Structure 1
């Protein structure tokens, strides 16, 4: 019953009528006395040949990619023709939409001031917008299927592409125009993420502004350090003098404290300037992180004066490849911050361990926590959550900026989580290829860290 209710049922009835009509005509003709041998071939042959003819005609139209248009045959074959025509119409609309979208995408990509380059799985150029010609010397389609490393010949490009770690951009000065500075970002692209989308941005102005700022900070800090050292020396002499009047000691003490604070800020600014000079430490060695942490913990306990509870979980055999002064500065900043910015009775947990994803150093406290709106800006210079409290504790506002720069120079990442009333956690992640395991612990003295790479196994 359901079959004959719709258009398909009506088509079936038409086909049945087309079949019964010649049979009825044949029976009538035979009843009138005509010889059946002549009647039935002429009566039944047309409806029997109709179906193969319509099938062959449809196959030829599809093979030749002709558009199916009315009038359509009667019956079920008409529904088949009509259905295929609808699919063809949908396909044409979809192709028109794709063409419009592709045209708009190309217009937008061509209008961008940034260079856009699509690479195949072999790092060869598949497409590039006009800006790539000026910024990256890639002309499309002239450079179609040329390897990117043949056009941009900087030696750091190939390791950057093959490493697959695209969290940070690569800044280069292209050989075809040394006057500009390019920031290259790469992201997986296309089916199965085998292609690569390269975005090149001209950061020449920003680069020069950063250079000017860095030089100014370094020069100003150097110039300020000498007079501050002289002032601090005279203040110390006046405070140590026995003939200094009592009413002068309090202002002299305040002056010395502020001078010490200014000296700390200048030292941190100089440290940041040194870290910004290059992306990698000039000398990398095997750093005995457990021993460094024990020394930092002794200083932190002295700073705390018994007001905090320290808990440690340190892998004594886990070492790290890097710069010892820089890592010591980063780790001490995080631990000292936990002491300075948490109230008495706070539990501070220090973790140093190795897992399947790499190496982790973390400092966790159960203090008051940090509001979520401040977390994205904590690593900015001079940014403070509570300015008055930070000044009282002697903070410079540069500690986390130093931590971030040190981690970047060691291929690490800093992650900060916090919840009000529950505490905060500062996590430093290092890649597994920087981890080293101590073979013979007895051969290493705690107070003398001179471990050679030959005595370690990765």
Structure 2
């Protein structure tokens, strides 16, 4: 700024001197500031030209305020270059990481067209980038369920497919929102062939073993019952026979639950569905629960008799009874149990809540695993098989519903089954009539 003031003062002094020497003010004052103004105009035009040509501003910089302007723009340019280098480096690292991932990654635009795919997509999905850029993924894979799956955007549920180019593969597809624009998605395909075959082997083994065990166990249970009821049985033998009968009954319950699970796992879709009178089913289950409790629990109900559910009656009864009986078996005497069946904002809702001792948070994620027990000793003592919640989970999956578990130690536990609104069928509605006819 000192330089600028000095230049301006020198210009004014030169003009005053010329006027004192007899020069005409009419041409002195327009001409004397002209070099000063031309310098500013030159520096401005030079700056515009350098910016337009994207040249780097390097020293030496002009003196005065223009030097500060040049210096400030140079600093912005330097920061911009560093930012671009970071972006290029990050983009390169991201590309390297995406190329190293064994799962197939495919980026789709809002029209489900391919924008980018990593090398693993070529082996797993037969999607080659950039050859297939701009093509629709559903056209390349030729899977009838793929386009609706991507369109609906079910981010939590995977889709299992077998690609046409490699029928020996079993892939699990997941989608996630991606990018800045609405509708863009990231498709992730994982090879689950080994896991799939292991699950098939496990299902076959459980189903076959359960079927093979059912007949000899029935024979053993029958003989035990005859021996226990026979008058000639010595009194000293009755206690061991009762214990054997109890364990045989427990084994029978485990086998029946294993067979139910195997059937649910092998048959993912159930076409035998119709309007189910949930209120009537709950009335019977509550009577069973009261008999099981033998008056030791306070069972309260709030059931909407006009709300029915589109589904499989046998499976739904199994799921509802498991939740209610668990509440009776696994809570101490004196506990209050609240059973609800009603319509809420999201659709039909069934819930079982108690004010018992609650479940620790570390157990909640594993409650639906088969044979998982929070309290091993107590569960066996009350006759639980450890398969009830696994059955509930599979039944709800087959009815497009979700299980929500909430619990606080010392306060109680709540199991809620949230069904989609489309499965709710009010009594006497047109949907109920159509479902009954179909």
Instruction: Give the TM-score of the pair, scaled to structure 2.
Output: 0.95
The within-5 A match list for 1:122-133 is 122-133=111-122
Equivalent in the alignment of 2:65 = 76
Equivalent in the alignment of 2:46 = 57
The number of equivalent residue pairs is 436
Query: How far apart are the structure 2 equivalents of 1:185 and 1:268?
Result: 30
Equivalent in the alignment of 1:392 = 381
Matched, 1:453 2:434: yes
Query: How far apart are the structure 1 equivalents of 2:288 and 2:16?
Result: 115
Shift of 1:291: 1.1
| Counterpart selection for 1:28 from 10, 17, 25 | 17
The within-5 A match list for 1:36-435 is 40=29, 42-435=31-424
Q: Which stretch has the larger CA shift, 158-167 or 19-28? A: 19-28
Query: How far apart are the structure 2 equivalents of 1:248 and 1:114?
Result: 62
Asked whether the 8 Å contact 1:321–1:435 carries over to 2, the reply is yes
Shift of 1:431: 1.4
Which deviations, in whole Å up to 9, do the C-alpha atoms of 1:150-169 show, x marking residues without a partner? Answer: 11111111111122222121
Shift of 1:28: 2.6
SS of equivalent residue, structure 1 residue 395: coil
Shift of 1:240: 2.2
Shift of 1:279: 2.3
Asked whether the 8 Å contact 2:310–2:424 carries over to 1, the reply is yes
Shift of 1:55: 2.1
Shift of 1:63: 1.8
Which deviations, in whole Å up to 9, do the C-alpha atoms of 1:78-116 show, x marking residues without a partner? Answer: 222222221111111111100000000000000110111
Query: How far apart are the structure 1 equivalents of 2:84 and 2:187?
Result: 28
SS of equivalent residue, structure 1 residue 383: coil
Asked whether the 8 Å contact 2:274–2:435 carries over to 1, the reply is no
Asked whether the 8 Å contact 1:360–1:430 carries over to 2, the reply is yes
Shift of 1:41: 5.2
Shift of 1:30: 4.0
Which deviations, in whole Å up to 9, do the C-alpha atoms of 1:371-425 show, x marking residues without a partner? Answer: 2221111111111111111111010000011111111111111111111221111
Instruction: Give the TM-score of the pair, scaled to structure 1.
Output: 0.91
Asked whether the 8 Å contact 2:275–2:435 carries over to 1, the reply is no
Seen in structure 2, the aligned counterparts of structure 1 residues 419 and 167 have a Cα distance that, compared at 3 Å, is same
Shift of 1:346: 1.0
Asked whether the 8 Å contact 1:280–1:410 carries over to 2, the reply is no
Query: How far apart are the structure 1 equivalents of 2:435 and 2:242?
Result: 52
SS of equivalent residue, structure 1 residue 404: helix
**C-alpha RMSD over aligned residues:** 1.8
Seen in structure 2, the aligned counterparts of structure 1 residues 56 and 143 have a Cα distance that, compared at 3 Å, is same
Q: Which runs of 5+ in 1 are unaligned?
A: 1-10, 442-450
Shift of 1:44: 2.1
